[in-house]
Structure 1
Amino acid sequence: MPPPGCHHNPNEDAVNSPTSPLNFLDQNYQELLQNCLTENTLYNDELFPPDNSSIGLFDVDPPDMSQAVWPFELVSDPNLIVDGVSRFDYAQGSVLGNCWFLASIGALTFEKDIMKQVMPAEKSFTKDYAGIFHFRFWRFGKWIDVVIDDQLPTIDDELLFVCSKMSNEFWPALLEKAYAKVCGSYADLNAGFISEALMDFTGGTHMYYELNTAPADLWNIMECAFTSKTLIGCSSNTVTTPEENEILCGIVAEHTYTVTGVFEVTSDENPVHLVRLLNPWGRKEWRGDWSDGFKAVLKAKGSNKMRSQSGRFSSEFFIEREPVAQTDGLVWLREVMKFFRLEPGEYLIVPCTENPGETASFVLSIFSKNETHFEHIQETSE
């Protein structure tokens, strides 16, 4: 819903889609491309310039960027994509802790239609090349088209951030640069949540579970999600002792992974639930049961184949009513998601800010299996 004093423009919906997004920072890709082709020049993005302002400031252990350069040409035969897009194309750089973002890219590569939506297919380093590329993301209820140049930060001719395993393939690095521009800088990608990146790739919503409080049917939820081609990721917690680290059997603490498979197999006549993970680092892997070298007699399982109001209410209104559900405290997440089973009736959704009396804009998305009616009541001054 719009913030106070703002009104929704119905014509905006016609351009607010993956195929017809809004121009981020009012930069029109086709116009900028044609200008470069007409003037026979390579594009230089003044709004995300090739200097340390785009790298940004790191909060902890800032790397030395004094030697960073942004060459127009890093290799003699650059390609956007070499032999298709794969989760094995890239590895995390040594400077930036954005495994959450790279894990989301790994999930993205499984769904080619979504990949084409994020990375339009017309770009290349050959036909009509002008040093300009564009990517599409969903941000806070709007699809946006993000323009970048193809200058990437390097030191000693090596990319500072995400790098391809083939030196002449650049789609991962350019995708990362476009997302860094949206977020403000490369440093702003240092730590985050995979759910946020997956939302920005798809425009969808997310389900989040912690294993120690997950529902009993979590496996069924995951199996249905995987069968329906949902993008899935996971993260590991912090460990404090060597014993805790050993229990992880190669899973890296405080790390994010792509879920690349959810399977049930039969071993010795017993069902076994398996989850396959991809480490965006490209190194360090699971060493426990079912890891490489684990021996078992397997049989694959056969596929069986997953109203609202707003305004100002008195404190008595809330005191007299028992909430159906509520969030336990404020959380430092971009999106809060809750799932409910509700009896037919009228329900009130109450967003809140940390400090009483604050106002803020937000996006409220409601999904229902049954017909649902919503009503927005504009707050009136007393």
Structure 2
Amino acid sequence: MESQYARLKSGLLRSGRLFEDAEFPAIPRSLYFSKNDPSIYWQRPTELIRYPKFIVGSASRFDLDQGLLGDCWYVAAVSTLATRPELFKRVPTNQPSNQPASHPINRPTTQTGIFHFNFWFYGEWKEVIIDDRLPTSRGKKLVFCSSREHPDEFWSALLEKAYAKLAGSYEALDGGWIEDALVDFTGGISQRISLRDTKRLPRNFFNVLLQNNMMNSLMGTCIYVCWATRLTMEKELDNGLFVGHAYSITEVLQVRFIGSTFQLLRLRNPWGRLEWRGKWSDKSKEWMNLNDRKRSEIGLIIEEDGEFWISFEDVMRNFDVLQICHLPPSCEILKDKKPWIGIRYNGTWTRGVNSGGSDYFRKHGSYWTNSQYSIQLANNDDNSNKCCIIISLMQKHSKMARTQLRVQYTEIPLLFDLYKVVLVCWLPANCY
């Protein structure tokens, strides 16, 4: 069956016209819903540069610089995704990236101005089609996400536009969580871990991160607040890190050298600049303990590119939250790993029927009406007489509410209680 994208592109090739997306038009409300910025113009890549390309060579984590939008969480997530080519290729499917880098996207015989991307949207893959009109300044520069290293490369800007369309506007991407975007890119299961609640962290927490990295889980981290000053707004600290800012985790390594063991993480600032200035930073003395061969094996790059190494201890000391996206069972990248089964349930809470409320309502007699699911675990893991289960809840349509009700928007707390015989999911009573 021919896809909508294929039908539209075929018609554009026959007519010689460029695609204009009526669902996400080049007008102010596609940019912001709380203000108007007359300094922004919509222009196509062919109006900005003579020979624009979708991808130059191959997609890289260095292809993304944040721009003026406060979507560091999104850019950090895409940077992490770009480290896994097998996962990345599913999002921008069948794009001109399959052509050699020397092939521009504006050849007269192929130019249509239409692109499509895939996102995992509430339990299924959704195709998002866009035109290539992008927000620019008067100086003919992209105002949001762009590639600083390759000004003729546009995949990062086009992907951001498709994600903005999915959310309803560019402004809807202003603030968010890394793991939410990673779920939208992979269909995985998210996990958020507080680094401040150390009593609940396992003693071998670094080994947990190392294992997650080996399993190709995607990770990021952020700083909520400067605990010395209680500062929460985005501002640089003395060590080069930023409060109110998200960072990609692009590598986790345990390095052994001359009897010593070092636990290191590689992070990237979505801005493509401004790095950590403490131990294990690009020009720090710690790297002098390793010879040139070891530094090369690790992949040390001394450059102002936003990427830096930092010790596990300094991550625990400076960052507040670790965000992880565990890949789904169906993911091709896990084909050589031990298989596991994924099951999805769709449900709703209806006022007066099964909106029984939180734990408070146990005493009021309505708690038991909440949605209940019975799950049986039958297969042991590794002959240990134990079974592993991961439960993840997703609140539908929160992105849509965020776009329409930005000022009033708050997430409804959605939780579950797990018993030996049944899983009970609940939210505050009479919400729906």
Q: TM-score range by the shorter chain?
A: 0.7 to 0.9
CA distance in 2, matches of 1:309, 1:83: 41
Q: Which residue identity does 1:265 align to in structure 2? A: V
> Percent identity, aligned pairs only?
33
2:159 to 150, 171, 175: 175
Task: Give the structure, 1 or 2, with the largest relative contact order (CA under 8 Å, sep 6 or more).
Answer: 1
Q: TM-score, normalised by structure 2?
A: 0.65
Deviations 1:312-348 (A, max 9, x none): 57945969xxxxxxxxxx99669968898x8xx4123
Given that 1:265 and 1:298 are in contact with CA atoms closer than 8 Å, whether structure 2 keeps it comes out as no
User: 1:138 corresponds to which residue?
Assistant: 120
CA distance in 2, matches of 1:134, 1:246: 37
CA 1:249/1:338 → structure 2, altered by over 3 Å: closer, same or farther?
Answer: farther
In the alignment of these two chains, the number of paired residues is 314
The farther-off stretch of 214-223 and 261-270 is: 261-270
User: 1:204 corresponds to which residue?
Assistant: 188
CA 1:309/1:150 → structure 2, altered by over 3 Å: closer, same or farther?
Answer: closer
Consecutive unaligned residues of structure 1, counting only runs of 5 or more, are 1-14, 320-329, 360-382
The within-5 A match list for 1:84-163 is 84-93=58-67, 95-123=68-96, 125=105, 126=107, 128-156=110-138, 157-163=140-146
Runs of 4+ that moved beyond 6 A: 242-248, 306-311, 334-340
SS at match of 2:272: coil
Q: Which residue identity does 2:121 align to in structure 1? A: R
Given that 1:98 and 1:192 are in contact with CA atoms closer than 8 Å, whether structure 2 keeps it comes out as yes
Q: CA deviation at 1:30?
A: 1.1
Deviations 1:30-56 (A, max 9, x none): 111111111110000011011212102
2:249 to 252, 259, 282: 259
2:212 to 209, 225, 231: 225
Given that 1:251 and 1:285 are in contact with CA atoms closer than 8 Å, whether structure 2 keeps it comes out as yes
Q: CA deviation at 1:280?
A: 0.8
Q: TM-score, normalised by structure 1?
A: 0.72
SS at match of 2:421: coil
Given that 2:415 and 2:425 are in contact with CA atoms closer than 8 Å, whether structure 1 keeps it comes out as no
CA distance in 1, matches of 2:39, 2:143: 11
CA 1:186/1:143 → structure 2, altered by over 3 Å: closer, same or farther?
Answer: same
CA distance in 1, matches of 2:238, 2:21: 44
Given that 1:207 and 1:337 are in contact with CA atoms closer than 8 Å, whether structure 2 keeps it comes out as no
SS at match of 2:208: helix
Given that 1:309 and 1:349 are in contact with CA atoms closer than 8 Å, whether structure 2 keeps it comes out as no
SS at match of 1:91: coil
Q: Which residue identity does 2:268 align to in structure 1? A: L
Give the aligned CA root-mean-square deviation in angstroms.
Answer: 3.6
CA distance in 2, matches of 1:106, 1:38: 37
User: 1:68 corresponds to which residue?
Assistant: 40
SS at match of 2:126: strand
CA distance in 2, matches of 1:346, 1:38: 61
CA distance in 1, matches of 2:165, 2:131: 11
Given that 1:196 and 1:334 are in contact with CA atoms closer than 8 Å, whether structure 2 keeps it comes out as no
CA distance in 2, matches of 1:318, 1:284: 50
User: 1:327 corresponds to which residue?
Assistant: none
Given that 1:236 and 1:253 are in contact with CA atoms closer than 8 Å, whether structure 2 keeps it comes out as yes
Given that 1:198 and 1:231 are in contact with CA atoms closer than 8 Å, whether structure 2 keeps it comes out as yes
Consecutive unaligned residues of structure 2, counting only runs of 5 or more, are 98-104, 298-337, 348-352, 369-394, 399-409
Given that 2:52 and 2:152 are in contact with CA atoms closer than 8 Å, whether structure 1 keeps it comes out as yes
Q: CA deviation at 1:290?
A: 1.1
User: 2:332 corresponds to which residue?
Assistant: none
Given that 2:72 and 2:246 are in contact with CA atoms closer than 8 Å, whether structure 1 keeps it comes out as yes
CA distance in 2, matches of 1:79, 1:309: 41
